Structure 1
Amino acid sequence: MIMDMQPTGRRAEYAEQTRRAILEAARTLFTEQGYFATKVDQIAGAARVAPATVYAVGGGKSGLLRTLIESAVNSEENARIHAELAAVTDPESLLATVVGATRAKFEQWAPLMRQVAAAAPQEPTVRDSMKIAEASLRNGLRLTAERLAQLDALSDGIDVDRAQDLLWIYLSNTAYFVRTDDLGWSLDESQSWLTAALTRELLAR
């Protein structure tokens, strides 16, 4: 039994290393070249595998993009952020926490998501992947809005649904792209402004 398990373990380890190499190659090429300009053969070359392996592991470009986004959505880091949002007891600290989390996520994923946003209007599978990312963010913002309501911190006339909408207006990727790409704001400047603006918009005085 021991002798049988060792090769199986090595095969599983190699398969996981191959999968990670393919995903990393896809992410790099999507970011540098754009989704449409990237070819499966290029991903295979960068990962040092056969093109057939790319299809077997990821189902081609659309499958790889979806896997990349789902890996971020289902990460331990996201679970930690959600737990932190649920545990904060001070409303201003809660807003600072969610702003800091979205800023960090944007900084990490903006190069890829910029290409996703560019390709989405022309490719339904890319739109589907973008919707997964957006749904994850909206879920985190919903948790924040519900927590503010639990703390009885929302301004008069603002319920959980409206609070979630306002958080989305300020913290979506689109809003971050406007500030960084169109207006040239630094992420430090954006974070400081967001914390003050959301405090003013959402919290009871």
Structure 2
Amino acid sequence: MTPSGTGRRAEYAAATRQAILLAARQLFTERGYFETRVEDIARAARVASPTVYAAVGGKSGLLRTLIEDGVRAAESGDIYERIAAQADADELLGMIVGGTRNEFEKWAPLMRQAMAAAPQDAGIRETVNTAHASLRQGLDAVATRLGELDALRPDVSVERAADILWYFLNNASYFALLDDRHWSLDQAVGWLHECLNSALLPR
């Protein structure tokens, strides 16, 4: 095959994979992970079912890939540079709360499906843990920066600050407020910011 032919084949494979991922994300979100069949994804992506398995590896592989792509996208931004450049503690907390809000709004429908499937699938469970580890790493950086700014309450260490940030800003907290208690996202974000101010910064 000529180099140009090889290039076209690679482009077609990439476009097919992307179509499958988009179809899977839509169907997982609309119908739920367990209610979606590989045949449904193939039909929506306009490919044969074996192509879904060959491209990504079935339903479990699709959900893992979607979550992993989201983690990589979040980590590829300038968040760590922005954290390091922040000189005001309250503004830093506002920035990280706003960042978790944006990520939750973007990925919550898919994370609901991943967390529902995780107890029954070790691969998905590992991927969820990877996503959580990525968030914890970002929150650790926020806690470290608060320590560098000498902005923490005297009774709160950097390690304790990281734990507090995780408690308030992990997906489970958002799910509890929005899904269980039916808060709006604006209400949740405002309250979380207030709680973090109270728990971390000197009164």
Task: Please report the TM-score for the alignment, with normalisation by the length of structure 1.
Answer: 0.92
Asked if 1:33 is matched to 2:31, the reply is: yes
Q: Aligned to 2:178, what secondary structure does the other structure show?
A: helix
| Cα distance in 2 between the residues matched to 1:90 and 1:5 | 54
Tell me the residue number matched to 1:144: 142
Tell me the residue number matched to 1:197: 195
Choose which of 108, 111, 114 in structure 1 pairs with 2:112: 114
Tell me the residue number matched to 1:20: 18
| Cα distance in 1 between the residues matched to 2:65 and 2:80 | 21
Deviation at 1:121, TM superposition (A): 2.3
Tell me the residue number matched to 2:103: 105
| Cα distance in 1 between the residues matched to 2:190 and 2:87 | 21
The answer for unaligned runs of 5 or more in structure 2 is none
Q: CA offsets, 1:29-64, max 9 Å, x none?
A: 111222222211111111111212111111111111
Are residues 106 and 47 of structure 1, via their aligned partners in 2, closer, same or farther at CA, if it must alter by over 3 Å?
A: same
| Cα distance in 1 between the residues matched to 2:140 and 2:130 | 15
Count of aligned residue pairs for this structure pair: 203
Alignment-mate amino acid for residue 46 of structure 2: R
| Cα distance in 2 between the residues matched to 1:84 and 1:188 | 23
Does structure 2 retain, via aligned residues, the 8 Å contact 1:72–1:78? Answer: no
Deviation at 1:129, TM superposition (A): 1.9
Tell me the residue number matched to 1:93: 91
CA RMSD, Structure 1 to Structure 2 (Å): 1.7
Tell me the residue number matched to 1:157: 155
Tell me the residue number matched to 1:66: 64
Deviation at 1:164, TM superposition (A): 1.0
Tell me the residue number matched to 1:171: 169
Does structure 1 retain, via aligned residues, the 8 Å contact 2:67–2:111? Answer: no
Deviation at 1:78, TM superposition (A): 4.8
Does structure 1 retain, via aligned residues, the 8 Å contact 2:151–2:202? Answer: yes
Deviation at 1:155, TM superposition (A): 0.9
Alignment-mate amino acid for residue 91 of structure 1: A
Deviates more, 1:40-49 or 1:77-86: 77-86
Does structure 2 retain, via aligned residues, the 8 Å contact 1:69–1:132? Answer: no
Alignment-mate amino acid for residue 109 of structure 2: P
